[in-house]
Structure 1
Amino acid sequence: MTRSACLIFNPVAGQSDPDEDLNKIVNILEPEIELDVQCTTPEKDAAQLTKTAVERGVKTIIASGGDGTLSAAAGALVETGIPLGIIPRGTANAIASALGIHDTIKAACQTILDGKIKKIDVGRCNDKPMVLLAGIGFEAKTVEEADRELKNNFGMLAYVVSGLQKLGELEPFEATIETDENTVTITATAVTIANAAPPTSILAQGPAGIVYDDGLLDLTVVTPKNQTNAIAASYELLQSAIFGESADHEDVKYIRTRYVKVTAKPAQKIVLDGEIIGETPIKVDCIPGGLTVFVPMQQD
C-alpha cells in the first residue's frame, strides 16, 4: 500500500446501520488506502480526533458522518494543507452537496480513491471554522425549530416545512452590517453569510452561483415588509437556487466581501453550519484556500 489515512467515523450519524456503513467504507478503500479507523464518542468529537491525528503526522483525513462531523474535522484542518476526504452519512449532507460530492458511500469513496484535491476557501466565524454558512434571524429560527422526527424522516424537507411555518411569524430586526468598504444599517428578517452553500440553503442564494474558492463571502439580506413580500422574496431566492440567476427582488440585497461584522437589535441567534452557536454580534472573515478537499474528477 502506498497511501494511508485516518478515518474519522461517526457511528450515530444518519439512519443507516453504522456497522454496515463502516464495513462498506473499509472494503472499498482498504485495497488502496491503509486506514486508521477512529470512531467519535461523546467524549471525543471529530475535531479532537482530527487534531490528534494531525499531531501524529497523518497525511490524509477522511471524515464520515453528518454535516456536524464533517465541519468539525474540516475545522481542525484549516491551513494545514492536509487533504480531507468526505463520506456523507447525515440528514442534510449540505457540505457534500455544496462541494459537488456524491452522497452515496460508493461514489464518495471513489472520489477519494481518484485522488483529485482542490483548495477551497473557509470562513472564520466568531473564531469558529465555517465551511458553509452562518445564518442570522429567520434561518437560525428555522433550524432551531425543525422537528427532530421530521428531520429523521424527511431530511432537508424538514427545514423547508419549518421555514414555511415561520413565514407567518416574521420578526424584523435592525441589522448593522460592516464590511471592508462601508457600514449600513437596515431592517431585515434574515442575514446569511455564505462561504459555500447547496441549493437547499435558499436564504443564501441572493448572489447566485456562490463560488467557494473566490476569496470572498456572499451575503444575502432579506428585508420583507410583510408576509406577502416574504413569500415573493423566498420565491425569487428559490429561483436563484434552481436556475443560477441572481435574485431580482427589492427585498433581497446581496454583498460580496472578505470580511463582515453584523450586530442586531434585538440580538439574534446564529446558526453556523447547521448548529446554533449563540447570538449576535458576529464577525466572519474569509481564509482563501484555507482547506484542501478531495473533489470529483470532473470538477475544474
Structure 2
Amino acid sequence: MKRTGTCLIFNPSAGQGNPEQDLATIRELLEPTIELDIRFTTEELDADAIATEAIAQGATSIIASGGDGTLSAAASALVGTNIPLGIISRGTANAFAAALELPDTIEAACETILGGLTRVIDAAKCNDRPMVLLAGIGFEAETVDRADRRAKNRFGVLAYVMAGIQQLRELESFEAEIETADKIIKLSAAAITVANAAPPTSVLAQGPAGVVFDDGLLDVTVVSPITRAGAIAASYHLLQTALNESATERDDVGYLRAKRVIIKTEPPQKVVLDGEIIGYTPIDVECVPGGLTIFVPEQLALPSVVEKLEGLPHLTIETKSTDGFDEG
C-alpha cells in the first residue's frame, strides 16, 4: 500500500542539471511506494508558502527538491509541526544536506526517504524568522551578497570562493557585543556566525569541533584576524579543523555555545540568514530545541560541548548578575 499525504515541492530552476530528467528520476524512485502531490515553486510562490498550504490541506510529510534556499524555505514552514521533511538536494552548494549529514545525490536521497527513518533536530529563530542553518554577520554576509545568481550558475560553488577572495581585499573589523543568558562579551571581529547546523564548507562557522544540531544550543564562532593574511590563515585553519572534526586553537578565533544570543555591532553589519541577506544587525537568535523532523539514513555520534574565547582582540567579558535576558 502506498504512503499517502506526501507533498513534493520541486524547484525547476535549481542547480545546473536537467530539471525534467531530475523530476522523472525522483518519480521513478518514489512513486511505486509514495503517492506524490507534486507542486512547483515559481518566482511568485516559494517553498515556504507551498509547504504551509500543503500542511493546511492535510499533508503528513513534505519532500523538498531544489537548492539550499528552497530546502530552507520548506523547512521553515515545518518548524514546530512534527511533520517530517525529506530533502533532495539539487543546488549549487548543497550546504543544507551537508550540514545535516544527508546524502546529496537524488538516488541516495530518495533511498533515505523510502527508508522512513526520522530524526528530530533543532531549529532556531533569528529576529523572529525561522532559521535552520546559520546567520552570518560581516565577512560571510558580504561574501554571499557578492556571489550573484549569474556567477553561481556559471561557476557553481566556486562563485562563493571567488566572492570571498574579493571580499578579503576589503576586510574590515567591527566592534561587537554578544549577550548570552549569563554574560556579555565585547570584542573586535571581522565575522560572527551563529549556527544551528553548518557543513564543513561554511568555514566561518567551524570554531567548535563540529556544529551540533540537536543539543538545544546554538554554535557561535567569532573570527577576529588583525590582517588580511591572518584572515586567510584563520579561514584555512577553520576548514582544516572542520574536516578533522577538531576544535580551533588559534587566538584570533573564538567560539561558544548558548541557547540564545543577542548580537549588536558598531557600525551595523549585513546579516545573511540561511543563504539570504535579510538586513543589518542587531540580531536576536534563539534555538528551538527539537523544532524540525527530517528523514535520515542513520544516527551519528556527536561531539562534546566546548567554549573558547581567550586571545580575541579587545575582549571583555562581563558576568551578568542574574541569568537571562532583559526583555524591557
Give TM-score scaled by structure 2 length: 0.89
Name the aligned partner's letter for residue 284 of structure 1: V
8 A contact 2:121–2:289 mirrored in 1: yes
Instruction: Identify the residue that residue 262 of structure 1 maps to in structure 2.
Output: 263
8 A contact 1:156–1:200 mirrored in 2: no
Render the CA deviation track for 1:99-139: whole Å, top value 9, x for unaligned: 11111111111100011100000010111111110000000
8 A contact 1:239–1:247 mirrored in 2: no
Moved more, 12-21 or 193-202: 12-21
Relative distance call for 1:255 and 1:299 in structure 2 (3 A) is closer
Instruction: Identify the residue that residue 250 of structure 1 maps to in structure 2.
Output: 251
Instruction: Identify the residue that residue 112 of structure 2 maps to in structure 1.
Output: 111
Equivalent-residue separation in structure 1 for 2:195 and 2:93 (angstroms): 17
Equivalent-residue separation in structure 2 for 1:171 and 1:298 (angstroms): 41
8 A contact 2:2–2:32 mirrored in 1: no
Name the aligned partner's letter for residue 90 of structure 1: G
Instruction: Identify the residue that residue 171 of structure 1 maps to in structure 2.
Output: 172
Structure 1 residue 146 displacement after superposition = 1.8
Instruction: Identify the residue that residue 323 of structure 2 maps to in structure 1.
Output: none
8 A contact 1:64–1:70 mirrored in 2: yes
User: How many residues matched?
Assistant: 300
Aligned residue for 2:169, secondary structure, equals: helix
Say whether residues 1:237 and 2:222 are aligned partners.
Answer: no
List aligned pairs for 1:134-283, cutoff 5 A.
Answer: 134-283=135-284
Moved more, 57-66 or 39-48: 39-48
Equivalent-residue separation in structure 2 for 1:214 and 1:55 (angstroms): 30
Say whether residues 1:33 and 2:34 are aligned partners.
Answer: yes
Instruction: Identify the residue that residue 132 of structure 1 maps to in structure 2.
Output: 133
Relative distance call for 1:299 and 1:33 in structure 2 (3 A) is farther
Instruction: Identify the residue that residue 290 of structure 2 maps to in structure 1.
Output: 289
Q: Which structure 2 segments of 5+ residues have no match?
A: 302-328
Instruction: Identify the residue that residue 122 of structure 2 maps to in structure 1.
Output: 121
Equivalent-residue separation in structure 1 for 2:105 and 2:272 (angstroms): 26
Moved more, 284-293 or 41-50: 41-50
Aligned residue for 1:11, secondary structure, equals: coil
Structure 1 residue 181 displacement after superposition = 1.3
Equivalent-residue separation in structure 2 for 1:24 and 1:235 (angstroms): 38
Give TM-score scaled by structure 1 length: 0.97
Structure 1 residue 177 displacement after superposition = 0.7
Equivalent-residue separation in structure 2 for 1:210 and 1:3 (angstroms): 33
The CA RMSD over aligned residues, in Å, is 1.2
Q: Which structure 1 segments of 5+ residues have no match?
A: none
8 A contact 1:216–1:257 mirrored in 2: yes
Say whether residues 1:12 and 2:37 are aligned partners.
Answer: no
Equivalent-residue separation in structure 2 for 1:150 and 1:173 (angstroms): 28
Instruction: Identify the residue that residue 72 of structure 1 maps to in structure 2.
Output: 73
